[in-house]
Amino acid sequence: MSSVECFASDALRRRVAPPSMGNVKARIRHASRALGWSHSRTKDAWYADPRISISAKELRDIEEASGLRYGRQELKEIDRLIARADALLDGHDPDFHRPFVAAIRAFFGALDRTGTGARGDE
């Protein structure tokens, strides 16, 4: 099983149709409708059947339905903000600024972790 099939299966199970939606059959049906895929195709991806191959279009469908692509964009934006904060704060008085920069990094890092619900996609 390739990492693409693992990613697809994990995204379907955790993001597109999370356990709170009910039993597995209902979750697969929901994922099928959300992605516009056939039930059998969704079921194969759900169980990461090694015989399937996820196309680039299907991967984009999963990214859009799960919001994971937008999470990557947000991560890049947070990294840019951290870099700007480093440039602004790192320099004059290292005894004060280094702990402050470390605190900002920790704050944004905590917001970026999955499962925090801070991005509104949980």
- State pLDDT tens for residues 50-105: 899 989 899 889 988 887 765 567 778 888 888 877 776 666 665 666 777 777 78
Judged against a pLDDT cut of 90, whether residue 32 lies above it is answered with yes
Q: What is the DSSP string of 57-114?
A: HHHHHHHHHHTHHHHHHHHHHHHHHHHHHHHHHSSS-HHHHHHHHHHHHHHHHHHHST
In this prediction the pTM is 0.57
Exposed, middle or buried by CB within 10 Å (0-12, 13-18, 19+), for 82? middle
Mean of all residue pLDDT scores within the chain = 81
pLDDT at residue 116, rounded to an integer: 47
Please count the other Cβ atoms lying within 10 Å of the Cβ belonging to residue 67: 16
pLDDT at residue 71, rounded to an integer: 59
